[in-house]
Amino acid sequence: MVAGNGLLYPILGFASCVAFIYMSFGDLKLSSFPKEPKLSFVERNGTQFLLDGKPLYVNGWNSYWLMAHSVDENRRPMVSAMLQAGAKMGLTVCRTWAFNDGGYDALQISPRQFDERVFKALDYVIAEARQHGIRLLLSLVNNLQAYGGKTQYVKWAWQEGVGLSSSNDSFFFDPSIRKFFKNYVMTVLTRKNTITGIEYRNDPTIFAWELMNEPRCMSDPSGDTLQDWLEEMSAFIKSIDKNHLLTIGLEGFYGPKSPKKSTVNPEEWASTLGSDFVHNSNITNVDFTSVHIYPDHWFHDLGFEEKRNYVSKWVHSHIEDCDKVLKKPVMFTEYGLSNQNKDFQPSQREQFYRTILDIIYKSAKKKGSGAGALVWQFFVEGMEEYNDDFGLVPWESPSIYKLTIEQSCRLARIQEHSQEKENLKELCSKRD
C-alpha cells in the first residue's frame, strides 16, 4: 500500500509465494542449523573402520555430560564450545551418554515414559555435533548406578510387581527387565530428531552404539548370563538399525573362557566379573571391541613407571587379540591417569597418554586393528561439577593439548578420505 497502487499486486503475489514456501517447508526446523554436506556412515571391513571405503582411525574423547548439560537451553553454549574445541584439536569422535534413567532430569522417567524436554536435549547434542564434524559414540545404559543404570531397571521391576530378584544382576536375566530395555532401545533408535528431522538410526553423525558402559555380572562369574544378554540385545539392535556399528562397552578383562590370557589381567579378581573380552567380543553382531585403561583403579601399590609398563602390555595384548583372533577393530574407549595418586605429577599424564597413542599409531600405520582411543575426559571452564580425578580442560594443559593435535595429525596422514583430511588440513599444516 505504501508503494502505491501500481505495485500492490506484484507485492501480494510475492508475499503469497513466500507464505506458500513457509507453509510447505516451515516445519523442518532447520533455521539455526544450516544445511551441511552429506555424511557417510562409518563401516568396517575386518580389522579396520571404513569411511567412504577407505580406512578410518580415530582420535577422540569422552564428555559423558553433553545431554545432561543441554537440558537447560542457557547452558547449551558450553556443549557447543566443547564440540568446537574437539574439532579444533582434530578430534573426530566423542563418546557420551544417551541415557539417564530415573532421578533428576531423567530421559526415561519410568519404563515406557520419557521426558520430551530431555529428548530434545539429546536432539541438540546430535545436531550440534554434526555442525562441528564430530561423530558420537552413544552409550545406552550404565552398569554403574550413576544416571540410573541397571539398578534403576531392577527398582522399576519391583515397583511394578514383576521383578524376579532384588539383585542388580537380574537386569541381565529377568524377562520383564529385558522388555523394559528393549523398549528403551527401540524408542531411542527410532527417535526423529526435532532439529534435523532425521531418525537416529538413519543419522551418520552417530559413529556407533554402545550397549552398556562397563558391563559386569558378578553373580555368574562363568560369563554365561552376560553372554546370553549380549547376544540377544546385539541382535535386537541390528534388527532395528543396520546402518550403525555396534560395540559392547567392555573394560577388556579376560574371563574363564580365555584361560591363556588370564595372566594379562591386572589381578585375579578381574577374571571373576562375569565378562570376557574375547568371548564377548566374538559375537557376530558386535562390530568392534572396546577396552578401558585405568591402572590407578586396578593397582594400589605400583609406581608410575610400573603402571605405564603394564599399560603397554595391556594395549598390545588386545590389539594382538583383534589382529589374530577376533579380526575386528579395537577402540580404547576410556583411558586416564588419576591426579589423586600419591606420586602424581602433571607431566606424567603426557607420558601416560603418549604410551597409549604411540601403540595405536604404530598399529594403524601397518593397517592393524588398533583403530583409535578416547581420553577420559575433557570439559570446558565452569563445569567442575562434572569433573573427576581424570578430567581436564585440554588447553589448560599445553603438553596434553599439543599431544592431542599431534595424534590427530599423524593419524590423518595415513588416511586417504578427503572429508576428514580437509577438516584437518589447516590444523596439521601449522605443525609441518
What domains can be seen in the chain, in order of their start residue?
Answer: 45-430 (3.20.20.80)
Q: Look at residue 9 in the predicted model and tell me its pLDDT.
A: 37
What's the rounded mean pLDDT across residues 103-113?
Answer: 96
Q: How far is it, in rounded angstroms, from Cα 290 to Cα 304?
A: 24
pLDDT of residue 22: 36
In this predicted structure, the answer to whether residue 48 has a pLDDT above a threshold of 50 is yes
Residue whose entry in the numeric block shows the C-alpha cell 580404547 = 332
**Amino acid, res. 431:** R
CB-CB contact of 132 with 83 (8 Å): yes
Residue 33 has pLDDT above 70, yes or no: no
Instruction: Please give the C-alpha separations between residue 268 and each of 251, 261, 271, 292, 314, in angstroms, as whole numbers.
Output: 15, 12, 6, 17, 15
pLDDT tens per residue, range 156-196 = 999 999 989 989 999 999 999 999 999 999 999 999 999 99
pLDDT over 90 percentage in the chain: 82
DSSP class of 192: B
The answer for 355, left when phi > 0, alpha when psi is -120 to 50, beta otherwise, is alpha
Strand partners, 111: none
Would you state the cell numbers that stand for residue 347, as one nine-digit string? Answer: 607431566
Catalytic residue among 128, 210, 320, 334: 334
Peptide bond into 227 cis (omega under 30): no
Is 384 an annotated catalytic residue? no
C-alpha of 403 from chain center: 21
Grid cell for residue 77: 553454549
Query: Position of cell 571404513?
Result: 50
**End-to-end CA, the chain:** 63
* Known active-site residue 305: no
pLDDT above 60: residue 99:
yes
H helix runs in 148-289, sequence order: 149-159, 170-173, 175-189, 224-240, 277-281
Rg of the chain (C-alpha set): 23
Judge whether 230 and 280 are in contact, CB under 8 Å.
Answer: yes
C-alpha 62/C-alpha 134 separation (Å) is 12
φ and ψ at 402, to 5 degrees? -65, -45
Which pLDDT value is given to residue 423? 63
| pLDDT confidence band for 37 (50 / 70 / 90) | low
Name the residue type at position 93: V
pLDDT band of residue 384 (cuts 50, 70, 90) is confident
Half-sphere exposure for 357 (CA within 13 Å, toward CB): 24
What is the structure's pLDDT at 35? 54
The model's confidence at residue 415, banded by pLDDT at 50, 70 and 90, is confident
What share of the chain has pLDDT > 70, as a percent?
89
Question: Does the pLDDT at position 221 exceed 60?
Answer: yes
Residue 202 clears pLDDT 70, i.e. is over it: yes
Give the residue-averaged pLDDT of 289-303. 94
Q: Is 195 helix (H, G, I), strand (E, B) or coil?
A: coil
Question: What residues are paired with 209 via a beta bridge?
Answer: 138, 246
Q: What is the pLDDT of residue 113?
A: 97
Grid coordinates given for 287 = 562390530
Give the residue, 35 or 213, on which the prediction is more confident.
Answer: 213
pLDDT-derived band at 420, boundaries 50, 70, 90 = low
What cell numbers appear for 121 in the block?
A: 536435549
User: pLDDT tens across 226-235, in order?
Assistant: 999 999 999 9
- Residue range 241-247: average pLDDT? 98
Q: Which candidate in 214, 251, 406, 420 is catalytic?
A: 214
pLDDT band at 342 (very low <50, low <70, confident <90, very high): confident
pLDDT for 289: 98
Residue 104 parent element (H or E) = none
